[in-house]
Each structure stands twice: as C-alpha cells, then as structure tokens.
Structure 1
Amino acid sequence: MPVLPLGKDIPADPGVVGGKAANLIALLGLGLPVPRGLVITTAEYAALADRLDLRTRLLPGIQRQDWAAVEQEAQELFAAAELSEEFRQELADRWQPLRAVAVRSSASAEDQAQASFAGQYGTWLDVQGEQELFVAVRRCWASLWSRRALAYRRQRGMDPFSVRMAVLVQEMVPADLSGVLFTRDPVRRDPEHLCVEVGAGLGEAMVSGALAGQVYRLDRRDLRLVDGPADHGLADASLLARVGELALRAEAHFQWPQDVEFAVRGKEVFLLQARPMTAWGPDVPGEALDPGRPSFLDRMMKPYVDERYAVAPRPLDNILFTRLVGAQMFVMEECGAVFDPGGLDRFRRQIWRPAYRLPRVRRVGRA
C-alpha cells in the first residue's frame, strides 16, 4: 500500500517510511504523544521516479555538478507528473479526517546519527484541500533534489540516487508554543543539562533561525529549571519538565542524545520530531581541545564575528551558523580551494565549543 496510517503497528523501517517517520513510529511505540497522520511510502516515490525516467533526466546535471539545474529539472518534472488514480484516491480517502495538515519530508537517509539532513528538505504547513495536498506532496518529493541536499550527499560521498523520499502528512497542531529541546547542552557542551528554546505559536521561523526564542536549561537529574528568562518567560517550569521527561524517554530508547521538536496546545504537548544530535560527537563532553593557530580564514572573519556575536550565541544560532559556514566551505571548494586534510572534519567537531579554527586552505585552483 502506498499510503499507511502513522501508528505504532507499522514497521519503523527508514527504507519504507523514511527516517523522520520511523523515529515518530518508535515514539508512538513508547506511548509518547505524536500528532496523528499518515505516511506516503518510499515505494510510491520510486514508482513515480521510474515513470519519469528520473535517473536519465537528472544524471547529466549531476555529472556536471550543476546542482541548480538538477534542482530546477526535478521541480519541473514532479510538478507536471501525473499521479496514479489509485494513489490519488487512497491519499484523498485517508487525508479527509485530518483536514488541515503539515506535509513534511521523510527521506530514507534522514534523521540518522551519521547524517541528519537537517533543513535539507521541504516542509509545508497548514495545507488544506485535495489539490493543495497533491501539490505539497509533489514539492516534497522534488525537494530530495534541492541543491542543498545534493551538495550534502556529495559531501558525504553518497550516491545521489541511493536516497528515496517518503512523505509525512500530519494533522496541524494550532500551537500556543513551539520549541526545540536538546538532551545535551550543545552550546556549553554540558551533558548534565537539557537546553530548550521556546517561541510563541508555530515553530518553523524559530527552528529555521529566522526568529530567536527564549532559552532555558534544566538539570537532567530532576528536570529542575536552572536557567531561563528572568521575567515574562513563555514556558513555566512544570511545562518544561514535562517536555524534558518526554525527550529523555526518547533519548533512552535511541541510546543517543536527541534533538526534539515539540508543540504545545493548552496543556497538551506533542512531539513533532526526534533525531540524533549529530553535533554531539563521541569525544568526551566538555573536553577542552586546543584549537591551534588561527588560519587565514579565522583572521579574515574575526572582525565580523566580534561585531555580530558580542554575546554567546543561542543553540539555533549555532545551528544556522554551522550551515552557513558549511555552505561557505562548499562554495570555496567549487571555486578551486583545496583544504588541509582533516581540517573540515576537525572544524565540524569543534564548532560547538567555545573555541574553534576554520580549516586551512592549501592551495587555490583546479588540480
């Protein structure tokens, strides 16, 4: 069946339902609160990709590493694709009870400890009506071929055609508050505290880094609030403790520090996503690494960083910063820069610490 109800009774197989849905199915199996919904399996994407002869159409651009051309070609192909009547009918029938929904990516290689693909694929909120739903599903499939996702897979040495896209369709939660909880503090590299960032309403702007939320810290032993806004806090200690308890149950199940997105409606808490904290490496938390001598890039960026980051950045600021710097490294490579071996990897391991060094450039120019 191309469309499955999101529930604990279906297999949590990333190859079938994608990484994001597989993690949510595991949370449902633990009895944790997840918005109801359905999953369009990777098989439906694969069948459509075959009908479109996607490999033949996209391979030339991939071989040229022309990611913009590949992205545009994929968007046009999926936008014009004819969906099978069986799939359209089944999706329409299962969608009806949900009404307004969020349509979210769930790629087969998404939300894993080795590669989170955070922010690489598409999400569409408050989708209403059958035609709008079909459009959002097509866009979600096409987002597998966004230039960011292509560069991310290339950076990790992945075959671009090895990943398939499932789609999550979930009931919209009209949230009073939304937020992100890290079960290890990624800014202070502190394993003893949970770090929570909370914003009013839907959380997409905050998660994307467009808006800053309020930051709180909880003691992971008793979920006691130890740090937060002095006045006018959006979330009280009891709510934060409830979210923390749910997140720690997810961490215990997955056996790895978690990055958990949540929404609050009234007194109800819903978990929207749980994925491994890829920035929390296997090294000893809190260990002080010698960042080494400043590189040319460090010296070049120091005036900008000093001006812009006069205070310690928040967790989501750091996430956005690492993405931007990663993009800068990619652009420099495309322009012919050759980095010192291991420099990029060391930079990624250091970025969450108070001190880090950008990788050294060995030379500029095509080999």
Structure 2
Amino acid sequence: MMVCTANVDRSPMAEFLLKKMLYDQNISGVEVFSRGVAATKNTLMSETGQAVLLSEDRICAENHRSKNIAEVDIQSADIILAMENFHANFLKEKYPFATHKIFLLTDYANQREIGDIKDPAGQLADAYHRLRQELQTSLAGVVKQMREEGFLAKAMVDNLQIKADGLTRVKRQRLAESGWTVVPLEAVDADFVELVGGKGANLGEIARLVKQHGATVPPALMVTTQAFQRFLEENGLLEAYIENIAAMDVVLAAREIPDRDQYEKIVNLLEKIRSLIFNGRLESDTGTGREIIQAIHDHGLKETYLSVRSSGLDEDTEEASFAGVAETYLYVSPDELLECIKKVWMSFWLMRGILYRSERIIQRSPIKPAVVLQEMFDSQVSGVIFTTDPVSDRDVIVIEAGYGLGEGVVSGLVDVDRYYVNKFDGSVINMHIGKKAFKVMRHPSGKGTCVESVDNALRDVPCLNEQDINIQLIMALEEHYALSQDIEFGITNGKMSILQTRPITTRS
C-alpha cells in the first residue's frame, strides 16, 4: 500500500508506476493500492499528474478516485510505503500493531539520499516530472528489495496456487455434472481422485511425464465412482447399500479392537454388502454394463487382454497404499470383463481391507470405488523402484527386479535381484543377485497367469543392466510428487513401461 496525504498525486502515481513495473517484469500475484491519511473521498488525480503518466508511461489514470486510509487497509497490506516520514510516523502511532510493516518509501528502497517524496501540488509540470523520476528510482529499489526478501517469489507461488485451486474447483464441478461412467487415461489427472480413485488419478497424472522420458503407461480406461453408483441405482440397491455402509462406519468409528460381538457384526455387514453387489445385474446389453463395453470398443481394446484393478479414494496415497487389499485380475478377456469388475467392487468389502483401514484409522468407507482397466503389458523383466531405501531410509534408489510379470515380484512369490543406485548419475553402487528360479507369466490358455521355470542360464545373472535404469524418469517422478515414490515397472525388448507409482508408505 502506498500512502501520502490526500491520495491525489504521490501515492496514486506510485501505485500506477509500480503496477506497470511488475507487469513489465512478468511478476504476478502482487496487489498494489494507495490511500491518503487525510483524503477527501473521490477526488481525481490532478490534470498535470495524469498528463505526465500518460505522456511518459502511457498510463491512463483518469479513473483514479482518492480514498482515506482505514484499519482494514492496514490489516490487509503486507508492506506499507509512506511518501514522507510524517506519514510513516502518523501510521505507526495510530496503528502500533503494524509498525513492523510501515516504512518510508525511500528507506525501504535503499534510496535514502532522496529522503521524503515531496508534494508537487500547485507547482509547474517540472515538479511532477521530478516526482515521477524520484518514484521510478525508488520503486526500482522496492522491487529489488521485495525480490531479495522472497516476497515476490511467495506472491507468485500464492497466485499460481489460487489459480490452480480455481481450476480444480471448476474441474470438480464439471465432474459432478458429467455423469461419466468410463473415462480414458489421458482425460484424468491428480484432481480426478473423486471420480477415478487414487490409482487411476496417479496414472493419468504421470502419463505425459513418463512419455517425455522415453517410457510409456499402457493404455487404460477408468470405470468411475459414478459408474458404481449408477450400477446400484439401476438395480435398486443404493438405499440398502448406504444403510449397510453407515452401519459399518459406526463400528469402525470405535477405533478399538473389536470384541466377538463387534467382529460378528463386521463379518455380517461385509457379507451383506458383497451380496448386494453380487446380486446386481451388470450386463453388456443394458445400462452401465453396455456403456463399459462400448467404451472398450471405442478405445480399441476389444481384442485386448486387460488387467482389472481397484482404485479406491484412499488408495496409493501418502497415508496408505492399500497394496494387495482389493482383488486384481490379469489377462481378462472382454467376455469376462464385467464379472471381474463386479468382483473388484466386492473385494473392497473383504475383512483384510477393513483391518487395514482400522490400523490406519481411516474411517471413510469406500462408498463409490473405481476400477482401472489397463492393457496387459507382457513384461520380460519387471519390478519395483523405491526412490528412497524403504528399510534404512538412505537417500539411495533401491530396485527389486525379477523375470516375468510384476505380480510375482510384488507378491514375493519369486526371488529377485536387488540393485542400489546412485541418484545423481544412475550408477549401480551395489547389487545382490537372487536365485531367480521361477517367474510369473501369462497362462498358455491366454487367460490368467501361471508360474514357470526360468532357464538355468538366466537364473544367476542380473536381469537388469544400467541401460535399463532410466534415472531421469525415476527422479522426475520423485520431483513431481515431492515425495519418495514406490514405482512398479515392466520392461520388454528394452522398452520400459510404468504400471503405477505411489508414495512409499512402508518404513523400517
């Protein structure tokens, strides 16, 4: 806030000049305004002052109207710059709570040789040109000082956050009105958690970033939370479903180990909820089922085997991963797809999920689960990348990798190699080569998976080489989320695909 006596010439001229200076330097997020300590309301800037600004800076100040200072102005301003010592002292005496942010303009700008900025009222045009020059010099110092204090950087970040929050609100409003049952991977990002769950939102968020670093995210469709609600509505199950999960929330809210009676209540409620979903009709010829199958056709996945995975609202977050809590189905054909989607919905209501939530004091029920349908990636080598050692918490990348599909690695079913990698140059610091006797592969029938033996010649040799370790991509994912990541990947013919990423939730 700029302050002079009448808010007619000095403080408004400083306001207009600083606004232009910030605009010319592409600095956003700083609000500049002016007031007077003894202003008559709604007085115009002097004609001479307006003429100087218009001729020298192409600034039109004809809409300026003077305003007297009020306490709310003092409270809202972060920096208050007075034209004369008289103004600064007056404000400090009247508003002692704000003395730390009240300055003489030229003092704050480190232009003390200028001293007070004098009022040109009643003088010739030369006095106004001199005023403008003194203000220009002082305001350049103000911008320099604000930059050194970090004020400008904070203002720009805050402004970007305000814009981002506004865009997020618009997105959420559109989602609420959309009624989407299925959305493609490329249409979602981190703001779509309420529509596609944590896993789906993360996949959409990273797809473009992954591509920029020479890898891919397999094509995917998200069966949305709204699809689940429509399924319940179409089958007349919504009211009973809500009643049962409300009863479940009452039990979970106790935050204590359940006794036998409570345990039986939980078991009965889980069975009721799963039974509701099981008995609902999800068919390819009507309603939500038809829309899902149509989306599969429209996006070129009708001849493709898919993975069907859960994507809950709390899933793959910093607080909880929910890894392995709900069911996953691999190499699902289109004719099995709808049944597998129902099974995944039902698996949100298994006892292991309730216990996992209870341990982490997560009370919100997964009222509307989402499901990720993703094209299967036939990995020759797969594994998990931890961008920080999850055991020792050392700032080193740890990669666990084995042959075949990632299900064998993440489940612990197969032995793996373990690599410790330097974050700065991608070099392997140390490695432990496992006895990789088995791998999980696609079943010969084409449906589901099976365990196969690894060729003897490959069992005791590293399944990764340094060229496979895309250090730029790994670090880009960690930097994007500003959190250590747990990244699942697959490699075929030297090409890496990212299957999911989430914050590391396991520590020693």
Structure 2 match to 1:28: 207
Cα distance in 2 for partners of 1:80, 1:92 equals: 20
Confirm or deny that 1:197 pairs with 2:410: no
Cα deviation 1:315-348 (Å, max 9, x = unaligned): xxxxxxxxxxxxxxxxxxxxxxxxxxxxxxxxxx
Confirm or deny that 1:159 pairs with 2:363: yes
Cα distance in 2 for partners of 1:38, 1:222 equals: 35
The change in CA–CA distance for 1:10 and 1:245 in structure 2 (over 3 A counts) is closer
Instruction: State the SS of the aligned residue for 2:186.
Output: coil
The change in CA–CA distance for 1:55 and 1:154 in structure 2 (over 3 A counts) is farther
Structure 1 match to 2:450: none
Instruction: State the SS of the aligned residue for 1:21.
Output: helix
Percent identity for Structure 1 against Structure 2: 29
Cα distance in 2 for partners of 1:78, 1:254 equals: 35
Cα deviation 1:92-148 (Å, max 9, x = unaligned): 122232220000111011111122222211211000133x10111001111111111
Confirm or deny that 1:41 pairs with 2:41: no
The change in CA–CA distance for 1:8 and 1:253 in structure 2 (over 3 A counts) is farther
Structure 2 match to 1:142: 346
Q: Please tell me the root mean square deviation across aligned C-alpha atoms, in Å.
A: 2.1
Structure 2 match to 1:116: 321
On the 8 A contact 2:189/2:202 being kept in 1, the answer is no
Structure 1 match to 2:193: 14
Q: How many residues align?
A: 277
> What is the Cα deviation at residue 213 of structure 1?
1.2
Structure 2 match to 1:270: 497
Aligned amino acid, residue 263 of structure 1: G
On the 8 A contact 1:179/1:197 being kept in 2, the answer is yes
> What is the Cα deviation at residue 61 of structure 1?
6.5
Cα deviation 1:13-69 (Å, max 9, x = unaligned): 211110001111110132432000100111112333453221334555674343443
**Counterparts in 2 of 1:155-304, with a 5 A limit?**
155-161=359-365, 163-191=367-395, 193-229=396-432, 232-239=461-468, 241-242=469-470, 244-280=471-507
Structure 2 match to 1:340: none
Question: What is the aligned counterpart of 2:287 among 70, 86, 97?
Answer: 86
Moved over 6 A (4+): none
Instruction: State the SS of the aligned residue for 2:362.
Output: coil
Cα distance in 1 for partners of 2:381, 2:271 equals: 35
On the 8 A contact 1:12/1:21 being kept in 2, the answer is no
Structure 2 match to 1:69: 268
Gaps of 5+ in 1: 281-351, 353-367
> What is the Cα deviation at residue 88 of structure 1?
1.6
The change in CA–CA distance for 1:254 and 1:272 in structure 2 (over 3 A counts) is same
Cα distance in 2 for partners of 1:8, 1:262 equals: 22
> What is the Cα deviation at residue 169 of structure 1?
0.1
Worse overlay, 76-85 or 91-100? 76-85
Cα distance in 2 for partners of 1:170, 1:40 equals: 11
Structure 1 match to 2:165: none
Cα distance in 2 for partners of 1:89, 1:8 equals: 21
> What is the Cα deviation at residue 160 of structure 1?
4.6
On the 8 A contact 1:109/1:163 being kept in 2, the answer is no
On the 8 A contact 2:184/2:221 being kept in 1, the answer is yes
Structure 1 match to 2:241: 54
Aligned amino acid, residue 4 of structure 1: V
Instruction: State the SS of the aligned residue for 2:473.
Output: helix
Cα distance in 2 for partners of 1:163, 1:58 equals: 7
More helix by share: 2
Aligned amino acid, residue 83 of structure 1: L
Greater relative contact order: 1 or 2 (C-alpha under 8 angstroms, separation 6 or more)?
A: 1
Cα distance in 1 for partners of 2:282, 2:402 equals: 38
On the 8 A contact 1:8/1:29 being kept in 2, the answer is no
Cα distance in 2 for partners of 1:81, 1:160 equals: 24
Worse overlay, 44-53 or 16-25? 44-53
The change in CA–CA distance for 1:163 and 1:275 in structure 2 (over 3 A counts) is farther
The change in CA–CA distance for 1:133 and 1:158 in structure 2 (over 3 A counts) is same
The change in CA–CA distance for 1:145 and 1:228 in structure 2 (over 3 A counts) is same
Cα distance in 2 for partners of 1:141, 1:2 equals: 14
Instruction: State the SS of the aligned residue for 1:115.
Output: coil
> What is the Cα deviation at residue 206 of structure 1?
1.8
Cα distance in 2 for partners of 1:4, 1:25 equals: 10
Cα deviation 1:73-92 (Å, max 9, x = unaligned): 33332222113723222211
> What is the Cα deviation at residue 163 of structure 1?
4.6
Higher alpha-carbon Rg:
2
Aligned amino acid, residue 95 of structure 1: I
